[in-house]
């Protein structure tokens, strides 16, 4: 109910804006958030966690482009907290990362964030302290543009995914340090061995197991942390979050992945999804049957349900161990079939960076992996490259092209190589083999354009998030390369992104998997030079047009 009221309110705002009575009005909204201990009921279990304004997820913050926002955040916890506005371009002191942007917010303290809104689209916010985010401290942000959107829709919904675990984040981290396979309940068993012998022969099966055994790595290590209940807007699969539509309406779904660790393969059987924005920025529309949303990414998709019936929003975890489920329906209380999950994927030697080209003998992923066009954002022969469940189009990064580039294209002034490294057995994650606590900051000069080369030497997929500045993902489209805030780097691949260094100050740069970031896959970035004082009110950087 609250959601639809907010929608009416914001549609009202948009209407009043478009009447041109107030063409250059600068909004100055004040918002209040309290950080509270809350109970989170997933349908499978109820767990004490952290939320905003008494709930997890927190509210949808609806801002307007050009607005000067004041956000009062009151910490009602007994520990320090913080809020990071994920993807927002703002002065670094407002970025909300303890020990980098500011000291954090002490218990009982109210911190006032004040910054101008210089962009549009779908974003989110979350705590950047300890494991408060996996414990429930997240919410969403929707920013309406001054100008008309490049597409039309009748209503919009935030569809925010998370992977709520019955264990607290702190306990998960400790268990992973004690036994890195603590939460992996998809390990290969004697039964799998026998069925593989049956399928591939004894010799091939033994040699496969010996290959993995000699590396002391697991082909099943697609999801470090299993045993969670996926939620959509705080609702478990049984609780079935439902968005109402009138048949033939265009509905904009603002997909946000606020998971601690889990990628989701999202589809709505019976509906095509037209991707119109990625990480808040408009992209040239591309119609797909299914997409994979990495941790911390956002996608805006348009759907047009024509029939007077319910449609299931289905998000299977990348490891196919659990699914999120919601419903789009003309009326409350309706539901549609829930699809089966696919066969659980296994990593291949290609994902391990060993260029075997084609897999010899062993072919676990044939059900999903084969017959699809190669996606260059996965290793050749990867076991985790996705294909659409209905055989149709699965979104690739290659499909993402900016609607309107944020920056002029130019040659990068230098390249910085970041090898994504780790030791699964010890649950240590690092960059260039060095953990955050032992690393020097990455120094950038204001005004340069840096090309980051991510080389993933681990078997995990890492969503790399640079704060404060855009990461222009090199999809090979030149000036049309899309600007993102989070770049997913699959195992055994090298991915490039470019950043126009246009924000003075110090920023965080890290893998957005909560337990990888905490284990050390994290860097401080210091931008030197530029405007002397990064004033809290001036910007002029990376403004979407």
Partner 1 sequence: MRKIIKHFPSILFSLALLTPFTSHAEEPANIFYGFQMEEFEYRYGESGEELFAFDGDAFIGSDELKLRWEGDGEFDLNIEKFETLSNQLSLQTPVSDFWDIKGGVRYTSPQGPDRWYVAVGLSGLAPQWFEIDTQLYLSEKGKLSADLDVEYSVLLTNYLTLTPSATVDVAFSSDREIGVGSGVNSVEAGLRLSYDVWDRIFSPYVGVVYERKFGQTANFVEAEGESADIWYAVIGAKLMF
Phi and psi at residue 6, to the nearest 5°:
-60, -35
Residue placing its CB nearer to partner 1 in the complex, 181 or 448: 181
Query: Token pair 């770049």 is at which residue?
Result: 487
Cα distance between residue 461 and residue 263, in whole Å: 9
- For residue 44, the number of C-alpha atoms closer than 13 Å in the C-beta half-sphere is 17
Count CB-CB contacts under 10 A for residue 425: 12
- For residue 344, the number of C-alpha atoms closer than 13 Å in the C-beta half-sphere is 17
Q: Which of 8, 28, 179, 367 binds partner 1 (CB under 8 A)?
A: 179
> What is the size of the binding site for partner 1 (CB under 8 A)?
31
Asked if 213 touches partner 1 (CB under 8 A), the answer is yes
CB of 173 to partner 1, least distance (A): 8
In whole angstroms, how far apart are CA 524 and each of 99, 377, 431, 520, 535?
10, 26, 12, 11, 21
Residue placing its CB nearer to partner 1 in the complex, 174 or 479: 174
Stretch that binds partner 1, among 211-219, 354-362, 460-468, 490-498 (CB under 8 A): 211-219
Q: Which of 4, 187, 198, 390 binds partner 1 (CB under 8 A)?
A: 187
Q: Give the x-and-dash track for 151-170 against partner 1 (CB under 8 A).
A: -------------------x
In whole angstroms, how far apart are CA 191 and each of 194, 210, 211, 348, 357?
5, 17, 19, 19, 28
CB of 423 to partner 1, least distance (A): 6
Query: Of all helices (H) and strands (E), which one includes residue 515?
Result: helix 514-519
Count CB-CB contacts under 10 A for residue 103: 11
Q: Which residues contact 82 (CB under 8 A, 6 or more apart)?
A: 96, 97, 98, 102, 104, 105, 127, 128, 129
Q: Which of 2, 21, 24, 214 binds partner 1 (CB under 8 A)?
A: 214
Footprint of partner 1 on residues 504-533 (CB under 8 A)? 518
Asked if 60 touches partner 1 (CB under 8 A), the answer is no
Asked if 76 touches partner 1 (CB under 8 A), the answer is no
Stretch that binds partner 1, among 64-72, 78-86, 247-255, 269-277 (CB under 8 A): 78-86
Q: Give the x-and-dash track for 427-446 against partner 1 (CB under 8 A).
A: -x------x-xx--------
Asked if 182 touches partner 1 (CB under 8 A), the answer is yes
Query: Of all helices (H) and strands (E), which one includes residue 197?
Result: helix 190-200
Cα distance between residue 512 and residue 133, in whole Å: 11
Q: Which of 48, 79, 337, 374 binds partner 1 (CB under 8 A)?
A: 79
CB of 486 to partner 1, least distance (A): 23
Stretch that binds partner 1, among 183-191, 249-257, 265-273, 462-470 (CB under 8 A): 183-191
Asked if 371 touches partner 1 (CB under 8 A), the answer is no
Asked if 46 touches partner 1 (CB under 8 A), the answer is no
Cα distance between residue 474 and residue 485, in whole Å: 13
SS (H, E, C) 364-377: CCHHHHCCCCCCCC
Q: What is the number of H-type helices and E-type strands within the chain?
A: 6, 30
CB of 187 to partner 1, least distance (A): 6
Q: Which of 34, 70, 188, 335 binds partner 1 (CB under 8 A)?
A: 188
Q: Which residues contact 200 (CB under 8 A, 6 or more apart)?
A: 208, 361, 362, 363
CB of 191 to partner 1, least distance (A): 7
List contacts with partner 1 (CB under 8 A).
Answer: 78-80, 130, 170, 173-175, 177-179, 182, 185-191, 210, 213-214, 216, 423, 425-426, 428, 435, 437-438, 518
């Amino acid at each position: 109910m609250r959601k639809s009221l907010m929608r009416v309110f914001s549609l009202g705002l948009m209407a009043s804006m478009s009447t041109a009575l107030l063409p250059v009005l600068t909004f100055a909204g004040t918002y209040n958030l309290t950080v509270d201990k809350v109970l989170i009921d997933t349908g499978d279990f109820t767990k004490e966690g952290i939320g905003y304004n008494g709930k997890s997820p927190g509210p949808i913050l609806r801002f307007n482009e050009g607005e000067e926002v004041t956000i009062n955040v009151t910490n009602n916890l007994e520990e320090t907290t913080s809020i990071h506005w994920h993807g927002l371009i703002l002065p670094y002191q407002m970025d909300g990362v303890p020990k980098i942007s500011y000291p954090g917010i002490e218990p009982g303290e109210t911190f006032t964030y004040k910054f101008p809104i210089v962009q549009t689209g779908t974003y989110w916010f979350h705590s950047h302290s300890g494991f408060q985010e996996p414990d429930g401290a997240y919410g969403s942000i929707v920013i309406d543009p001054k100008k008309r959107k490049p597409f039309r829709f009748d209503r919009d919904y935030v569809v925010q995914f998370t992977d709520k675990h019955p264990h607290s984040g702190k306990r998960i981290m400790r268990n992973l340090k004690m036994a890195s396979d603590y939460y992996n309940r998809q390990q290969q068993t004697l039964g799998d061995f026998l069925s593989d012998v049956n399928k591939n022969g004894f010799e091939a099966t033994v040699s496969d197991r010996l290959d993995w055994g000699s590396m002391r790595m697991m082909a099943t290590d697609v999801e470090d942390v299993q045993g969670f209940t996926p939620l959509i807007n705080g609702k478990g699969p049984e609780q079935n979050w439902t968005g109402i539509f009138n048949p033939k309406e265009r509905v904009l779904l603002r997909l946000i992945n606020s998971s601690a660790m889990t990628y989701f393969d999202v589809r709505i059987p019976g509906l095509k999804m037209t991707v119109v924005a990625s990480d808040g920025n408009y992209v040239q529309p591309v119609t797909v049957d299914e997409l994979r949303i990495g941790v911390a990414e956002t996608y805006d998709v348009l759907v047009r349900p024509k029939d007077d019936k319910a449609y299931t929003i289905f998000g299977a975890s990348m490891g196919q161990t659990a699914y999120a489920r919601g419903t789009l329906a003309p009326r409350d209380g309706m539901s549609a079939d829930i699809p089966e999950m696919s066969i659980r994927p296994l990593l291949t030697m290609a994902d391990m960076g060993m260029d075997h080209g084609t897999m010899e003998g062993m072919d676990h992923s044939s059900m999903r992996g084969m017959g699809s066009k190669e996606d260059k954002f996965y290793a050749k022969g990867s076991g985790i490259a996705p294909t659409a469940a209905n055989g149709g189009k699965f979104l690739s990064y290659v499909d993402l092209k900016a609607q309107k580039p944020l920056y002029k294209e130019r040659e990068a002034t230098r390249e910085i190589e970041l090898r994504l490294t780790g030791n699964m057995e010890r649950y240590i994650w690092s960059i260039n083999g060095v953990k955050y606590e032992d690393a020097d900051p990455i120094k950038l000069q204001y005004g340069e354009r840096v090309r980051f080369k991510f080389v993933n030497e681990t078997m995990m997929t890492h969503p790399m998030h640079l704060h404060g500045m855009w990461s222009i993902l090199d999809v090979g489209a030149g000036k049309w390369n899309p600007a993102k805030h989070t770049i997913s780097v699959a195992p055994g691949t090298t991915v490039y992104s470019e950043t126009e260094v246009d924000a003075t100050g110090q920023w965080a740069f890290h893998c957005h998997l909560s337990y990888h970031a905490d284990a050390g896959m994290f860097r401080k970035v210091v931008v030197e030079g530029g405007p002397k004082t990064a004033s809290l009110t001036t910007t002029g950087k990376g403004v979407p047009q």
